[in-house]
Amino acid sequence: MFTLGYHLIHHVTTLTPLHTGHTCARSEKEAPMGRSSIRRHRIVALSLAAAVGTLAFASSPVFATPEDGDGTAVHDVAAGEAYTKFIVEFKETTANATPNGRANAWGKAARSQGVKVQELRTLATGGTLIEADRALSGQAAEDFMAEIAASGSVDYVEPDARMTVALTPNDPRYGEQWDFTGTNGMRVPGAWDVATGTGVTVAVIDTGITAHPDLDANVMPGYDFVSDATAARDGNGRDANAQDQGDWYAAGECGQATAGNSSWHGTHVAGTVAAVTGNATGVAGVAPNAKVVPVRVLAKCGGSLSDIADAIIWSAGGAVPGIPANANPATVINMSLGGSGACGSTYQAAINSAVSRGATVVVAAGNSNQDASGFRPANCSSVVSVAASNPSGSLSYYSNFGSTVDLTAPGGDVRVAGGGILSTINTGTSTPGSAGYASYQGTSMAAPHVAGLAALMKSKSSTLTPAQVESTLKQGTRAMPGGCTTGCGTGLSDATKTMGLLGGATPPPSGNLLLNPGFESGAASWTSDHADTFETGTNARTGSGFAGLNGWGQTTSYMLDQAFAVPSTVATASLSFYLKVQSDETTSSAAYDTLKVQAVSNGVTTTLATYSNLNESAGYLQKQLDLSAYKGKSVTLRFLGVEDSSLGTYFYLDDTAVTTS
C-alpha cells in the first residue's frame, strides 16, 4: 500500500563487485623483508566485516531485486497483498512493437494462473500496465511474474502496488506554529529575510486540494491522475480537476475494521508548503510566495504506483501519454505518501526522469518506527528523505529512521498539547465542507517543511541542481536538540542556517563545514564504496576513529566522499586533513599506489593533490589545500585511493576540516 504522509518505500539494492582489475606482475618489485604485512591487516579487517555483515543480513530484510536467469528483474510481492495489475517493461524488439506481440510475453503465464490478461496503457516511464481479470497474491503473483520474465521479452516486471497515507489527525485547533518559531523548530523567519519562494513552483503529489482562503491565491492548475473512477469519486478517470473528493471509507473497506473520515491530506501538506502569509488569517507557509501545483494520485484506499509514476514525470514537465503537458513544471516535488517494499524500477525511473529535468524530489521517511530502508520512496535514489521531530527536538515516536534518512524536520506529536503541525484543511467528514485548520502529525508533515525550504533555496539561487539542493539542505542542519541515536540524517533542518549558506543575511558558519570530521561516528555523513574504510583503534590520530583506504597489496580502488556547500559570501575556503602513509613498496622513484584528493562540483572532477607510496611517513602529517575557487558552490570532497597489483600501501586519514574566513 502507498500511504499519505508516510512513504513506505525501499530502494532496489544490487550487489556487485566494488572493483575489478587484472593483475599484472612487475618483476622489479619484491616484498620487503622484515616488515609487518599491511595486507594481512586488511584481510583480518575484511573478515571481521564479512562476519558482521552476515549476522546483519540474517536478521534484516534483504531488498535486492531477484532476477531470472537472463537478468530480468522480478520485483517482490508484499505479504497479504493481492494484485490485478502489473507493470512490464518490454525489450525494444520488432516482436514487441504490437499489442499482439507483447501479449506473447504473458500468454503462458496467464494460462498457468487461469486468468485473462489485457493491456491497459503505456506509462510515462516506458513500462506497460497490464491487468488480470482475477487478483493474484503470494506465490501465484510471484509465479505469474516469473513466467513473464522467463519469456525473454521483458526487462522487468513488478506489481502495480498501492500507496496510502500514514498520518495521525487530531481535532482542529488553532495554535502557534512552534515548527516555525519554537526553540526546537525549523527557524523559518530568518530565512524569509533572504527569500520567500517567489518564482518557484512546488508540485504536491497527494490527495488533491480543496478550496481554502488561506491557500487559494498560491494554487495553480493541477491534474487528477487517479485512473480508478470508483476510488476517485468524481465519476471519471483522469482529468484536469485536482479537487480532493474525499478519501473516507466505511468499516471493512481499505483493509480497515472501522470507518475513517476524509483526511484532506493534500490540503494540509500544501498549506505547510505555501499557505498565504501576511493576510491576517490562519497560518503561514514555509515558502509563502511560492506556487503549488496540486497533483491528485491518492483517493479512497490510497493510490497506485502506475498513477504515481506518471504524476511524478508530469509534475516535472515530462510527457505522459494522453495527458496535456504541465504548463507550470515544478522544480520541487513533495510526496508525503508511500508503502513498504523495494523502490522498484518504475518508481526509480519516474524519479530519475524528474531529477533529470531539475526537480528536487522530497519524500516522507514513513511512520512505522522502523528503518526507512524498508519503505518506498524513502529508499529510492536521488530523493531527499525526511524524518519527523517533535516539540522536544528529538525523533518523533512514530518516525522511521536509519541511514536512508537525509535529514529531519518538524512532524509533530499530537499527544502533547499544541504539539501537532497546524495547517489548512477542509472540515467535511466525507465530502468537501468548509475551510478550516487542524493539527496533524507524521513524516507527511515533516516533508513539506523541507520542500518549502527547497523552494526558498531555488528562489534565491535558481540554478541550483537537485544534487546541490540536497547537499545544501544536509549542510544546513543542526544537531538534534533532543538527541538521536537511531539515525536522523544530518540533523534537524535549520532554514536560517541553510539560506545563510547561499549568501543570506545570516553570517555563514565559521567552523568546520564537514560533518563527522574525525570519523568518530564511523560512516556518518560520509559515503564510501568499502565498508572497512571506517576503522577504530590506536592508528587514529585523535580519538579512536579514522579512515583507512587500500592496503591490500593487490589491485584495489577506494572512494570516500562527503558533500558540503561553500558560502558565497566568504573570502577564502580551505581544506585541511591529516595523512599517514604506510607502504610495502621499496621504490624511491615510482608512484605505484596513489591517493588523489578531488573536488567534484557541477559534474566536473578536479584533482587538488596526489599522494603516493613515495609519501610514506612514520606518523600523521597535516595537508592543506585551497578551496576558494568553490565559493558559492556545492562540492563533493573525494579521497580516491588506487593500489596496483602487488605490494600494499595503506592511506590513513583523520581530523579533516573545511574552514572559511
CB 209 within 8 A of CB 222: yes
Does residue 212 have an active-site annotation?
Answer: no
Give the cell for residue 619. 606518523
| Residue 378: HSE in the Cβ half-sphere, 13 Å Cα cutoff | 46
| Number of residues that make up the chain | 661
Cα–Cα distances in angstroms (integers) from residue 221 to residues 134, 294, 296, 324, 585, in the given order: 37, 7, 11, 12, 66
Residue whose C-alpha is closest to residue 459's, from 492, 494, 502, 501: 502
The Cα 529–Cα 557 span in angstroms is 9
- SS3 state at 219: strand
Where are the extended beta strands (E) located within 229-325? Answer: 291-296, 303-304
Instruction: Please state the φ and ψ torsions of residue 562, each to the nearest 5 degrees.
Output: -150, 135
Does residue 216 have an active-site annotation?
Answer: no
Buried b (16+ CB within 10 A) or exposed e, 10-40: bbbeeeeeeeeeeeeeeeebeeeeeeeebbe
Q: In sequence order, what are the residues at sequence separation of 6 or more whose Cβ sits closer than 8 angstroms to the Cβ of residue 647?
A: 29, 31, 553, 583, 584, 585, 586, 592, 593
Residue whose C-alpha is closest to residue 200's, from 82, 359, 347: 359
The whole-angstrom distance between residue 484's C-alpha and the CA centroid of its chain comes to 19
Q: In sequence order, what are the residues at sequence separation of 6 or more whose Cβ sits closer than 8 angstroms to the Cβ of residue 528?
A: 534, 547, 558, 559, 560, 561
CB 227 within 8 A of CB 304: yes
The Cα 643–Cα 613 span in angstroms is 10
Query: How does strand 556-565 pair with strand 604-612?
Result: unpaired
CB 274 within 8 A of CB 424: no
Active-site residue (options: 10, 41, 75, 265): 265
Buried b (16+ CB within 10 A) or exposed e, 322-331: ebeebeebbb
- SS3 state at 348: helix
Does residue 444 have an active-site annotation?
Answer: yes
Active-site residue (options: 68, 160, 179, 206): 206
The Cα 468–Cα 470 span in angstroms is 5
Residue whose C-alpha is closest to residue 452's, from 491, 482, 490, 423: 423
Q: Which residues are paired to 334 by β-bridges?
A: 204, 362
> In one letter, which amino acid is 470?
E
Instruction: Please state the φ and ψ torsions of residue 611, each to the nearest 5 degrees.
Output: -120, 165
CB 507 within 8 A of CB 500: yes
Active-site residue (options: 262, 340, 345, 444): 444
User: How is 562-610 classified by DSSP, letter by letter?
Assistant: EEEE--TT-S-EEEEEEEEEEE----SS---SEEEEEEEETTEEEEEEE
Query: How does strand 303-304 pair with strand 337-340?
Result: unpaired
The Cα 122–Cα 540 span in angstroms is 56
- SS3 state at 36: coil
Active site residues: 206, 265, 444
